[in-house]
């Protein structure tokens, strides 16, 4: 893949390799673009839509993480429309489940909380749904709280692609969708879970956390995903 | 609209919240002296006024709208204030006060009181002692129009001062990202 692609990004000509995505190039150019489902080292999902950018000639915004570069593309990342859409996405996420930051284990370390503040969300225009959602505290070391899950599926992907266990999956559709362990049996009864904790570390919110953590105590470490992937693919073990 | 002595007319109100936002307001400490020089506190849980007055310039509202008394006061505040500020996460998002929303009012009173020791308040219906609970706790801006938002549980004094000093200077409240996170 040595072909060089040239495209226009926010008015600047930039070059890219043909196997790169728009998000790769945007990050290379040090342009700040919010993401929640993307995680360096994991496959892309294109689910959160925060990285949606304007591609000239396209009928709708395109998620940068799943859009390959192509020759002559004209891309804008921060138009007023895109920023308004990003605020809408974040407000919808905040309204859908019970994100009560003040009493959350990841208060102050949460990617959703910070993305909302950065995007300028100071209130939510939509009616809060306040769904009655359960927690699963059956695992010996970790807890799943559906109230704080945004269905980014980082847990599903890291468990499948890095740990190789594929304990996590999604059940249900649309607003009924839930992350599940082993065909929806309690996490503590999962024979496939290795208790490695990768899912907990990559979770952007307080949906997965270490048992015993209380308000604002849960911090997360993501870099290990890139270290492991680099070690596996390039035999370079650097951290 | 200012008083005869050139001070702005400031009010604070306490709806469905824990008063932590007011405690944080008092933690402005010596800035309260600056504030007293520029604003007159015309209504507040920490001032002796029984009725919400007319012609208020700025009202900071703590707490979510959880019962019919809150709802009535919210409308009085809106009708008599030039600028209404949602002060703290309960007013802004519903926050902890809204945790009861997954239960109906009757189920809530059963879960909290009727199944526990002692006598349960009536609450679900109007009586002369307790205001009737609303079916769902609402953030203030879903009840009346709100002009500015000051998130935080509670907003720390730095945030409060950033917002209040902007309002004293007649500027819009535009908090930088680290001062506008929910929760923290």
| pLDDT of the residue at A96 | 97
Burial letters for B142-155: b for 16+ Cβ neighbours within 10 Å, e otherwise?
bbbebbbbbbbbbb
Q: Is residue B163 part of a domain?
A: yes
Q: Does B151 touch chain A (CB under 8 A)?
A: yes
Q: Is residue B91 part of a domain?
A: yes
Mutate to test the interface with B, among A97, A99, A128, A129 (most CBs of B within 10 A): A128
A61-88 tens-digit pLDDT: 999 999 999 999 999 999 999 999 999 9
| 3-class secondary-structure state, position A177 | coil
Q: Is residue A70 part of a domain?
A: yes
CA distance B177 to chain A (A): 5
Q: Does B97 touch chain A (CB under 8 A)?
A: no
**What CATH number is attached to the domain comprising B37?**
3.40.50.700
Lowest-pLDDT choice from A54-68, B37-51, B122-136: B122-136
Residue A237 pLDDT grade (very low, low, confident, very high; cuts 50, 70, 90):
confident
> Which of B98, B141, B184 has its CB closest to that of A107?
B184
Number of folded domains in chain A? Answer: 2
Q: Is residue A117 part of a domain?
A: no
Residues from chain A contacting residue B139 (CB–CB below 8 Å): 123-124, 128
Res B142 pLDDT > 90: yes
Interchain contact, A128 vs B94, CB within 8 Å? yes
Q: What is the ipTM of this complex?
A: 0.93
| pLDDT of the residue at B127 | 65
pTM higher than the cut 0.90: yes
A85-107 tens-digit pLDDT: 999 999 999 999 999 999 999 99
The tokens for A85 are 């859409």
Q: State which residues form the domain around B154.
A: 8-97+136-176
Burial letters for B48-76: b for 16+ Cβ neighbours within 10 Å, e otherwise?
eeeebeeebbbbbbbbbbbbeebbebbeb
The tokens for A101 are 């930051």
What's the rounded mean pLDDT across residues B119-129? 66
Indicate whether A143 and A64 sit together in one domain.
no
Q: Is residue B104 part of a domain?
A: no
Residue A23 has, within 13 A of its CA and on its CB side, a CA count of 22
How many residues belong to chain B?
184
**What CATH number is attached to the domain comprising A14?**
3.10.20.740
Res B75 pLDDT > 90: yes
> What is chain B's mean pLDDT, rounded?
93
Mutate to test the interface with B, among A116, A125, A130 (most CBs of B within 10 A): A130
Q: Is residue A98 part of a domain?
A: no
**Which of the two residues, A195 and A238, has the higher pLDDT score?**
A195
Q: Is residue B38 part of a domain?
A: yes
Expressed in angstroms, the distance from the first to the final Cα of chain A is: 27
Residues from chain A contacting residue B86 (CB–CB below 8 Å): 123
CA distances from A218 to A42, B15, B107 (A): 22, 31, 32
Q: Of all residues in chain A, what percent carry a pLDDT higher than 90?
A: 97
Indicate whether A59 and A132 sit together in one domain.
no
CB contacts < 8 Å between A and B, how many?
76
The tokens for A154 are 């980082």
Residue A140 pLDDT grade (very low, low, confident, very high; cuts 50, 70, 90):
very high
Residues from chain A contacting residue B153 (CB–CB below 8 Å): 101-102
Indicate whether A73 and A136 sit together in one domain.
no
Burial letters for B88-98: b for 16+ Cβ neighbours within 10 Å, e otherwise?
bbbbbbbbbbb
Q: Is residue B123 part of a domain?
A: no
Burial letters for A80-109: b for 16+ Cβ neighbours within 10 Å, e otherwise?
eebeebbbebbbebbbbbbbbbbbbbbbbb
**What CATH number is attached to the domain comprising A205?**
3.30.70.20
Q: State which residues form the domain around A46.
A: 4-78
| pLDDT of the residue at B123 | 58
- Residue A185 has phi, psi (to 5 degrees) of -95, 165
Number of folded domains in chain B? Answer: 1
Q: Is residue A115 part of a domain?
A: no
Q: Is residue A131 part of a domain?
A: yes
Q: Is residue B105 part of a domain?
A: no
Closest CA to B97 of A97, A144, A103, A95: A103
Q: Is residue A63 part of a domain?
A: yes
Res B40 pLDDT > 80: yes
Interchain contact, B181 vs A101, CB within 8 Å? yes
Closest CA to A9 of A116, A1, A20, A86: A20
Indicate whether A230 and A136 sit together in one domain.
yes
Indicate whether A53 and A143 sit together in one domain.
no
Res B124 pLDDT > 70: no
- Residue A175 has phi, psi (to 5 degrees) of -70, -15
Indicate whether A137 and A63 sit together in one domain.
no
Q: Is residue A122 part of a domain?
A: no
Res B3 pLDDT > 90: no
| pLDDT of the residue at B111 | 85
The residue from A44, A63, A78 where one domain ends is A78
In chain A, positions 14-73, which contact chain B (CB-CB < 8 Å)?
none
**Which of the two residues, B4 and A124, has the higher pLDDT score?**
A124
């Amino acid at each position: 893949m040595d072909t060089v692609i040239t495209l226009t990004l926010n008015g600047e000509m930039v070059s890219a390799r043909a196997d790169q995505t728009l998000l790769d190039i945007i990050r290379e150019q040090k342009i700040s673009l919010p993401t929640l489902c993307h995680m360096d080292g994991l496959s892309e999902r294109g689910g959160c839509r925060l990285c949606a950018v304007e591609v000239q000639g396209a009928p709708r915004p395109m998620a940068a993480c799943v859009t390959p570069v192509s020759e002559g593309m004209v891309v804008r990342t921060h138009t007023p429309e895109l920023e308004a859409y990003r605020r809408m996405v974040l407000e919808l996420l905040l309204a859908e489940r019970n994100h009560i930051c003040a009493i959350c284990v990841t208060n102050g370390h949460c990617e959703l909380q910070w993305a909302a503040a950065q995007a300028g969300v100071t209130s939510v225009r939509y009616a809060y749904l306040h769904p009655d959602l359960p927690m699963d505290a059956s695992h010996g070391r970790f807890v799943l709280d559906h109230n704080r899950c945004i269905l980014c599926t980082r847990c599903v992907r890291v468990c499948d692609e890095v740990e190789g266990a594929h304990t996590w999956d999604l059940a249900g559709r649309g607003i009924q969708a839930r992350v599940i362990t082993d065909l929806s049996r309690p996490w503590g009864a999962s024979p496939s879970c290795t208790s490695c904790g990768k899912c907990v570390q990559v979770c952007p919110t307080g949906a997965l956390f270490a048992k015993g953590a209380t308000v604002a105590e849960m911090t997360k470490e993501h870099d290990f995903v890139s270290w492991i992937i680099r070690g596996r693919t390039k035999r370079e073990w650097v951290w | 609209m200012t008083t005869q002595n050139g001070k702005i007319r400031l009010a604070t109100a306490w709806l469905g919240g824990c008063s932590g936002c007011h405690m944080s307001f008092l933690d402005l400490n010596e800035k309260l002296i600056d504030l007293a020089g520029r604003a007159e506190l015309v209504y507040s849980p920490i001032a002796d006024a029984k009725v919400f007055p007319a012609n208020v310039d700025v009202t900071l509202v703590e707490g979510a709208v959880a019962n019919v008394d809150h709802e009535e006061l919210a409308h009085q505040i809106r009708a008599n204030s030039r600028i209404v500020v949602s002060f703290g996460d309960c007013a802004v998002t519903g926050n902890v006060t809204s945790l009861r929303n997954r239960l109906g009012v009757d189920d809530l009173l059963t879960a909290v009181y009727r199944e526990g020791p002692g006598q349960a308040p009536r609450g679900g219906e109007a009586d002369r002692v307790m205001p009737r609970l609303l079916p769902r706790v609402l953030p203030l801006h879903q009840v009346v129009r709100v002009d500015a938002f000051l998130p935080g549980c509670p907003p720390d004094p730095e945030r409060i001062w950033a917002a209040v000093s902007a309002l004293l200077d007649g500027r819009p409240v535009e908090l930088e990202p680290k001062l506008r996170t929910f929760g923290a």
